[in-house]
A and B are shown apart, each in its own frame.
Chain A
Amino acid sequence: MVEADNKILLDWDALEVGETFEKYEYVLTQEMIDTYRKGVMDPEAGFPTIAHKVDVKQYNAKYRDNGSVNARCAFYCYSPPIAGKKITVRAWISDKYLRRGKNYIVTEAVSVDEDGRLIDRVITHELKQPSEVGKKWGS
């Protein structure tokens, strides 16, 4: 894939905490909101931004790795997003750590809409050896 060729192979040791990614922008549509609410079986779900995984979007655009598994995720609610508004996301590497011989990366992102409303903040801990899931819970 051409896209994969342009990506940098992740070197976990060299990855710098504090690396900030290019901003990511998207328009949240009513269709996105409706689809999300059906998926989570909650007609009042207020933060469809969760499904957009914006904290790792720019990481995945820049780096190539063996995939990942979400080990921990924190989400802070500030204002439910409004359909039709452009959302701007700023994301960065906020931490990395080695635990039981496994590598983790922590990404953090803040979303703001076009009117300057703070939408949410998300912090995700990703295990960078996804095959560990199969070893432990494969069957």
Chain B
Amino acid sequence: MGELSRNYQIDDDITPIVKEMTQGAINLFEGSAGETGPSQFTDEATARDVLGTEGTVASGRMSLTFAIEMLRRYFGADVFNHSGMVDLRFLRPVRPGDTITFSGKISGISREANGSKISVAITAQNQKGDTTGVGQGSAIVPNAYLPPED
């Protein structure tokens, strides 16, 4: 359950999450949808042919998943899984062996018909400090989860 009566403030930091990318994790992600053939995500030769990269890359959808996880942990599953969203732009490839840190900061709070929309600026960085993705996410926090107004 999400925390009751949590206060949200602009510039509040979201607790970061860190993911260590492995080829095994990428293979599981791709395989979970029944994709078993070679792809730029799972096969070096295909990655070289299609992308021109030396090795495989992780699907941007894995980064999207991690950003979703960060916000779900922050807002609570009961809130985020029913009103959350993430919009992420992928700036650099994420590769096996990379350690990616996802962080966020509250960037906006606005009233909605069914609560308050809390917006978060999201950044993903690899172990070198390079930004691999940026974007924003949000969730509609019901009024019952917000402190009472004066």
Smallest Cβ-Cβ distance to B85: which chain A residue = A76
CB within 8 Å of A: which B24-49 residues: 25-34, 40, 48
Q: Are B81 and A73 in contact (CB under 8 A)?
A: no
Taking the nearest CB of chain A, how far is it from the CB of B50, in angstroms? Answer: 4
Residues of B within 8 A of A50 (CB): 61, 64-65, 68
Q: Is B32 touching A51 in the complex (CB atoms < 8 A)?
A: yes
Question: Which of A41, A77, A139 interacts with B68 by CB under 8 Å?
Answer: A77
Do B28 and A79 have beta carbons less than 8 Å apart?
Answer: no
* Binding stretch for chain B, among A5-13, A64-72, A90-98, A106-114: A64-72
Q: Report the minimal beta-carbon distance from A122 to chain B, rounded to whole angstroms.
A: 9
Q: Mark A114-139, 1 if CB is under 8 A from B, else 0.
A: 00000000010000001101110111
* Contact (Cβ within 8 A) B93 A133: yes
Pick the contact of A72: B54, B62, B77, B87 (CB < 8 A).
B87
Residues from chain A with Cβ under 8 Å of B145 in the complex: none
Residue in contact with A133 in the complex, picked from B52, B82, B87, CB distance below 8 Å: B52
How many residue pairs bridge A and B at CB < 8 Å? 131
Task: List chain B residues, Cβ under 8 A from A80.
Answer: 81
Q: How far is the CB of B140 from chain A (nearest CB, A)?
A: 11
Do B62 and A46 touch (CB < 8 A)?
no
- Please indicate the chain A residues that have their CB under 8 angstroms from the CB of B59 in the complex: 51, 53, 70
How many residues of chain B are within 8 Å of chain A by beta carbon?
44
User: Beta-carbon contacts of A40-67 to B below 8 Å, as 1s and 0s?
Assistant: 1110111110111100000000000011
- Contact pick for B40, options A48, A67, A73, A138, CB 8 Å: A67
A66: chain B residues at CB < 8 Å are: 50
Q: Is B141 an interface residue (CB 8 A)?
A: no
The answer to whether B65 and A71 touch across the interface, beta carbons within 8 angstroms, is: no
CB distance from A18 to the nearest CB of B (A): 21
A70, A71, A80, A131 — which one has the most chain B CB atoms within 10 A of its CB? A70
Q: Which of B40, B88, B90 has the most CB of A within 10 A?
A: B90
Task: Give, as a whole number of angstroms, the nearest-CB distance from A121 to chain B.
Answer: 8
| Cβ contacts under 8 Å, B135 to chain A | 72
Contact B66 A130 (CB under 8 A): no
Q: Which residues of B contact A (CB under 8 A)?
A: 19, 25-34, 40, 48, 50-54, 57, 59-62, 64-66, 68-69, 72, 77, 80-90, 92-93, 135
27 contacts between A and B (CB under 8 A): A35-B32, A38-B28, A39-B27, A39-B29, A39-B30, A39-B31, A40-B62, A40-B65, A45-B69, A48-B32, A51-B30, A51-B65, A52-B33, A69-B51, A71-B89, A72-B88, A73-B64, A73-B90, A74-B86, A74-B88, A77-B68, A77-B80, A79-B81, A131-B51, A134-B52, A137-B93, A138-B54
